[in-house]
Amino acid sequence: MSGRAYRGLSADERQADRRERLISAAYTLYASLGFPGTTIERLCSEARISNRAFYECFSGREELLQVVHERCIEEALGSVAKSVQEAPDTFLGRLEAGIAGYVGFVTQDRRRARIMHLEVRRAGDQPLLASRERTMSAFYKVIEDAPEGTAPVPSGVDPHLLSLAMLGALQELIVDWVLAEDPPEVEAVVGAAVHLLRRVFPASVLQPSEHA
């Protein structure tokens, strides 16, 4: 057995520590050099980890990206869920809180926004699309959990495509925020996104009830 203490850490702890350092390094390098420019060697030197040890943590660059992306999504979902729970229990309230929560979360750290909305696409990796699907369904939930069972999706138009388009709109706004040399205010991004969704999903017009 090769489970021995070292620098006060067990074998598993050391392994986990290296893994974590690699993830942290990836977090930074993806945002600065982009995913294609982030070589394994750079990752290792940034994380101060042996080139050899990388392969004991991940099978290759793609798996690392996958893990980083999933972590980002997990954190984002948590943050958004919290924002939504604290919001007033109206469709509009939940919607606005969800968007503001997500945009706020993602713009809080420029690296996050870049990884989640730019680098993921550049990879073209297959398993990443699965993660994307998860985000989609989470987004669906926010809409489908409208309070009194009103279906906010209009008829005659594929609701899946509509949600897809809304995600694309939001994504484009965030990408612009990331790439523009003179980025818009976060509030403006949120405002545009909220305005968009408010107009697209007609349930919002049924919602002045709570206000009066």
**Residue in this structure with the two tokens 């989640």, named with its chain if needed:** 116
- In 3D, which of 103, 121, 133, 127 has the Cα closest to residue 30? 121
Based on the shown chain and the rule CB under 8 A, indicate whether residue 205 belongs to the binding site for a copy of itself.
no
- Answer for which of 93, 104, 183, 191 binds a copy of itself (CB under 8 A) is 191
Indicate the residue among 70 and 125 with the shorter CB distance to a copy of itself: 125
60 binds a copy of itself, rule: CB under 8 A: no
CB 119 within 8 A of CB 187: no
124 binds DNA (CB under 7 A): no
157 binds a copy of itself (CB under 8 A): yes
Question: Which ranges of the chain does DSSP label H, i.e. alpha helix?
Answer: 11-37, 40-47, 51-57, 61-86, 91-108, 110-114, 120-123, 126-144, 159-179, 186-200
Give yes or no for residue 16 binding DNA (CB under 7 A). Answer: no
Calpha distance 202→144 (Å, rounded): 13
Phi and psi for 6 in degrees, rounded to 5?
A: -160, 125
1 binds a copy of itself (CB under 8 A): no
Task: Report how far residue 120's alpha carbon sits from residue 35's, in angstroms, rounded to the nearest whole number.
Answer: 8
Which of 15, 17, 34, 147 touches a copy of itself by CB under 8 A?
Answer: 34
22, 31, 84, 166: which one binds a copy of itself (CB under 8 A): 166
Instruction: For the CB of residue 63, give the shortest distance to DNA in the complex, in Å.
Output: 10
Which of 26, 49, 84, 203 is close enough to bind DNA by CB under 7 A? 49
Least distance between DNA and beta carbon 53 (Å): 4
165 or 206, CB closer to a copy of itself?
165
